[in-house]
Amino acid sequence: MTKATTMHGTVLLVDDDPNLLSGLLRTLRHQPYRIFTARSGKEAKEVLMKWPVDVIVADEQMPGMTGSELLAWVADFFPEVTRIVLTGHASVEAAIRAINEGRVWKYFTKPCKDVDLALAIAEALEAKRGPLKTSTP
């Protein structure tokens, strides 16, 4: 008999780099979250239309739609979703755009420490639902 795991939130990870998505999944594998991935803004929108999501972590630089554009759409249509942006091309302009357009909660530059991102996600879920028991990656 397997032990049932209670999920404490749903996280959507969005990045066009499959290696980065794999790394993010490894980072969060021991956390009690339901995790979806998307390789584009379009795929992310499809997930959001089908499933309730608590936290979205999106890369800024993606083909077709930037993370800021995606997160602005999320803010308009799913304002209850906490928005986090990751970028490998940090600039003051990109940060301002992400914050203003996407109304992001946290902004990380790549590479970021796994534990920092995991803690940010846990904090976002805690703010929504109350304290969670999580393990350190």
Domain edges within the chain: 10-129
- 22-50: average pLDDT: 94
CA angle, residues 37, 99, 77, in degrees to nearest 5: 55
Instruction: Please report which confidence band the pLDDT of residue 1 belongs to, taking 50, 70 and 90 as the band edges.
Output: very low
pLDDT tens string 72-127: 999 999 999 999 998 887 666 766 766 766 578 888 888 888 889 999 999 999 88
Question: What pTM did the predictor assign?
Answer: 0.84
DSSP β-bridge partners for residue 106: 84
Residue 79 carries which DSSP code? Answer: T
Question: E-assigned strands of the chain?
Answer: 10-14, 34-38, 55-59, 82-87, 106-109
Q: Which residues of 120-133 are buried (b: 16+ CB within 10 A; e: fewer)?
A: bbbebbeeeeeebe
- 35-61: average pLDDT: 96
CATH number for 10-129 (one of 3.40.640.10, 3.90.1150.10, 2.170.150.70, 3.40.50.2300): it is 3.40.50.2300
